[in-house]
Each structure stands twice: as C-alpha cells, then as structure tokens.
Amino acid sequence: MKNPGKIQPPVFPPEEILFPEVKLVTLSGGVPVYTIESGTEDVVRAEFTFRAGQAREDIPLLASTVNMMLTEGSQRHSSEEISSMLDFHGSFINPYCEKDRAGFVIFFLPKYSGELLKLAREIVFEPAFPEKELRALMNKRLRWFLTNREKVQNLASDKFYESVFGNSHPYGRQTSEPDFEGISSELTRVFHKTHYNLSNLAVILSGRFRKDTIEMLEDLFSSPLTEPDLPPLAPLPEKGKGEKDIYVHKQNAVQTSIRIGSRTINKRHPDYPGLKVLNMILGGYFGSRLMRNIREEKGLTYGISSSLTSLDLSGFKVISTDVSNENRKLATDEIYMEIDKLRNIEVEEAELGIVRNYMSGEMLRMFDGPFALAESFRAAWEFGLDNDYYRRLAEKIKSITPDEIKALANTYYNIEELYEISAGDR
C-alpha cells in the first residue's frame, strides 16, 4: 500500500500580517474613539474603557464593585429593565475590572446602534447605586469568594500576587471576609464620580459599525461635565515580600497548585519582544519545554504553562501547574532544571525555528476578525504603544538569536529571585 504519509507537503514561511488601519476620532468633549472597520458579519464590538481598575481603589473590592454595579440600575431604569433591554436586542455585555483598567465591552447588531449606545451611556454615567442592590450583590460576591477559596488554583494565585507585589498595594492586596461589609453606596458613588467620567474615557469600536455611529457617540459622549481630577496612583513598593517559598495548606486537596515567578518588565521595555520568545520556548505553547517534560514525558500534570503579563506600573511572569500532592517536589525540581538549561545552554536553531513559525502563525490569529483586532489594539494601546510594537515583535520573532535568548534568560530568570507558591495538602 502506498503511504503518502512519507511525503511531507512543503511548508511556506508565514505570510506578512496586514495590520489593521486604526482611525482616531476625537469627540468634541475630548473623548478619543478608535475605530477598526472589519469583518464579514453585521456585528459591532464597542469597548468603553477607563483607568478605573483595582490599582485605583483604597479599599479591597471597591473598583470591581463599582464596575458590577453599573448594570444594577440607573436613574431611569431598574437592573431588570436594563438586562431585559440588552437581552431583547440580542446584545451581549461583558463588564470587566482588571488591575489597571475597568469598563465594559458591548456586542450588538449595527441596526440597534442607537438604542444600545444610548443605554451604554446610561450604564456608564447614570448608575444609581441603590443600597438594596448593593447589599444583594455583596452577599452574592461573598458566596462566590467562599467557593473560590476552595480552589487550590485561586489560593496559589492570590498568594503569588501578595508575595510579588506586597499586601499594601492593590496589585497584591488580599480580600478577606470582612471586606464584603466594608463597601457602602457612598463609597461607590465617590469612586464612580472620580473615575468613570469623560476625561478618563476611551472608546474602541470595531466590526461593521454604521457610518453614523461617530455622530451618535458625539451626541452621547460629549456633554461638558464638571470632572474631578483622577486621583494619583498608589506607588508600588520597590520589592515584594522577603519570603520566597510559601505553602498554603488546603485540607483534603488531592492536587497541589504551583506558581513560580516574579515581577518582570512590561511591554514598554525594549527587551519585551525577546522575552516573549523566551517565554514561549519555556512554557508558552503545547510543544514548550515544560509541557514536553512535565506532561508529555512524565505525565505529572494535565497542563503546565508559563506566561507574561504587563501591568501599568510593573509586570510579572509566572509558571502555573497542578500536580498530585506527592509530585510537587519532582515538578518544581524539573521546572528549575528547565530554567537552568535556558540560562546555560543555547537553544538549537531547530527548536527556535519551530517557535518562530508558531509565533508568526499566532500573530495571524491575533489579527483575524473584528474582535481579535480590537483586543490586540487595546493590549498595545493601554501601554501607549501602537502597531509599531507588533512590528517590532514580528521582527524579533524572525531575527532573535540563540545567544540573545540565553542572555535574556540570565537577565530575567534568576532562580534566587523567583517566588514559589504551592497550595495543596502535603
């Protein structure tokens, strides 16, 4: 029987990415609107984003609570009416509160632009923060919190942030049960007034939006308001906690969740594109060294990954995995061994070639379709970067050398500086 399996088809180098054209329109009140026209389906993605994330809160839960309360009733409509209107128009809304930014993404059909943008304005600027809804939300959030605290993954991640950024800064601060009592309507109103206002708003519009969308935004998001200044950010302490190895005990857990990592540079740093390549080799894709060794060779875990996250004031890298309690030491030893190898031995060109091509393919996926385009734009824009960042990344993927990677590993993966957090039942 002939076996065409032996004749591998030729592989062509990844094609050049067509970066989208992003147009900036500034509304008369000063709000920037970034537009990316794309897609084949009649759908629109509109993001309303503010510097209103956790980094801006004085007490735990405040920023996320304000964000969740946006859809819990306005001066004109009850929470039921708002959700019913969104659902009736076949629209989907994703409120988010991250470490630096908060806001929401709303997906809708262009024919309902008028109704839904009007509702978006009401959600953003006219929330009523009813006391009754606030208490109900906090009670629900407490139940979610208690459930999450039963998950070793959350215990390990929370302790990781606390260790890396310290308990005094919102990046690292932990939530505890009494915090759910500490949020009042008054606090939410004040935070809302100072953070959710026109001078702090940016809009990102993508998909097949109607020609008159900008006019609608102009009508809705330009009225002059008296705007309080954005309060200054709490400074990030220079160092995290002194203690590097922490074990969080969770009775009866059958697996231990592990986090190994530390603070690192963010997207604004010139070394960042190279560090992304290094991270990919270590644990960024299915063929990475950590996956091959710890999952595919040893069968210790369902998954292991390494990631880089950029924050406004900092950034961090972290390796995450879940293994059976008894295999914890074996897994962490192997993780350090893989880091050590990257610091001491140059990557072979064959392996680097795989990573170059895989990452180039990944970049095509990052710029495919109206939703991915908007997300990629936002991920650079919030650090003051634009398509030039992606061009540098694409260029670095092609040109990085093995000795450059080794040097990056020596600069950024100093094992003594890494925190090791485990949550499980040893």
Site for other proteins in 297-316 (CB under 8 A): 297-303
Closer residue to other proteins (CB): 10 or 235: 10
Query: Residues 117-156: x/- map of binding to other proteins (CB under 8 A)?
Result: -------------------x--xx--xx-xx-xxxx----
Q: For residue 241, give the amino acid letter.
A: K
Helices (H), 177-243: 185-195, 213-220
Element (H, E) at 365: helix 349-366
Closer residue to other proteins (CB): 91 or 113: 91
* Binding-residue total with other proteins (CB under 8 A): 79
Closer residue to other proteins (CB): 42 or 386: 42
Residue in 204, 212, 208 with CA at minimum distance from that of residue 40: 208
Task: Write down the least CB distance from residue 191 to other proteins, Å.
Answer: 23
Binding of other proteins at residue 109 (CB under 8 A)?
A: yes
CA distances from 117 to 24, 36, 48, 108, 375 (A): 19, 17, 11, 10, 20
Closer residue to other proteins (CB): 240 or 369: 369
Closer residue to other proteins (CB): 364 or 415: 364
Q: How many CA atoms lie within 13 A of 409 on its CB side?
A: 24
Closer residue to other proteins (CB): 31 or 204: 204
Binding of other proteins at residue 33 (CB under 8 A)?
A: no
The answer to whether 334 and 289 have CB atoms below 8 angstroms apart is no
Contacts of 150 (CB under 8 A, 6+ apart): 250
Contacts 24+ apart (CB under 8 A), 350-358: 351/281, 352/281, 352/400, 352/402, 352/405, 354/287, 355/277, 355/280, 355/281, 355/285, 355/397, 356/397, 356/398, 356/400, 357/11, 357/13, 357/14, 358/280, 358/285, 358/287
Task: Write down the least CB distance from residue 180 to other proteins, Å.
Answer: 12
Closer residue to other proteins (CB): 92 or 186: 92
Task: Write down the least CB distance from residue 117 to other proteins, Å.
Answer: 16
CA distances from 118 to 13, 123, 192 (A): 47, 9, 19
Residues 34-73 close enough to bind other proteins by CB under 8 A: 39-43, 71
Task: Write down the least CB distance from residue 337 to other proteins, Å.
Answer: 19
Task: Write down the least CB distance from residue 348 to other proteins, Å.
Answer: 13
Binding of other proteins at residue 403 (CB under 8 A)?
A: no
CA distances from 386 to 43, 48, 165, 383 (A): 24, 18, 28, 9
Q: For residue 155, give the amino acid letter.
A: L
Three-state DSSP class for residue 305: strand
Task: Write down the least CB distance from residue 301 to other proteins, Å.
Answer: 5
In whole angstroms, what separates CA 189 from the centre of its chain?
Answer: 26
Residues 205-224 close enough to bind other proteins by CB under 8 A: none
Task: Write down the least CB distance from residue 199 to other proteins, Å.
Answer: 30
Task: Write down the least CB distance from residue 89 to other proteins, Å.
Answer: 7
Q: Each residue of 57-92: b (16+ CB within 10 Å) or e?
A: beebbbbbbbbbbbbbbbeebebeebeebbeeeebe
**Binding residue for other proteins, selected from 346, 366, 371, 402, defined by CB under 8 A:** 371
Residues 147-206 close enough to bind other proteins by CB under 8 A: 147, 149-152
Residues composing the chain: 426
Residues 230-269 close enough to bind other proteins by CB under 8 A: 251-255
Closer residue to other proteins (CB): 42 or 333: 42
Closer residue to other proteins (CB): 253 or 380: 253
Binding of other proteins at residue 6 (CB under 8 A)?
A: yes
Contacts 24+ apart (CB under 8 A), 368-371: 369/38, 369/39, 370/36, 370/38, 370/39, 370/43, 370/45, 370/206, 370/207, 370/208, 371/45, 371/206, 371/207
Binding of other proteins at residue 14 (CB under 8 A)?
A: yes
Closer residue to other proteins (CB): 146 or 225: 146
**Binding residue for other proteins, selected from 32, 58, 76, 90, defined by CB under 8 A:** 90
Closer residue to other proteins (CB): 164 or 260: 260
**Binding residue for other proteins, selected from 25, 37, 83, 330, defined by CB under 8 A:** 83
Task: Write down the least CB distance from residue 251 to other proteins, Å.
Answer: 8
**Binding residue for other proteins, selected from 170, 273, 283, 370, defined by CB under 8 A:** 370
Task: Write down the least CB distance from residue 352 to other proteins, Å.
Answer: 11
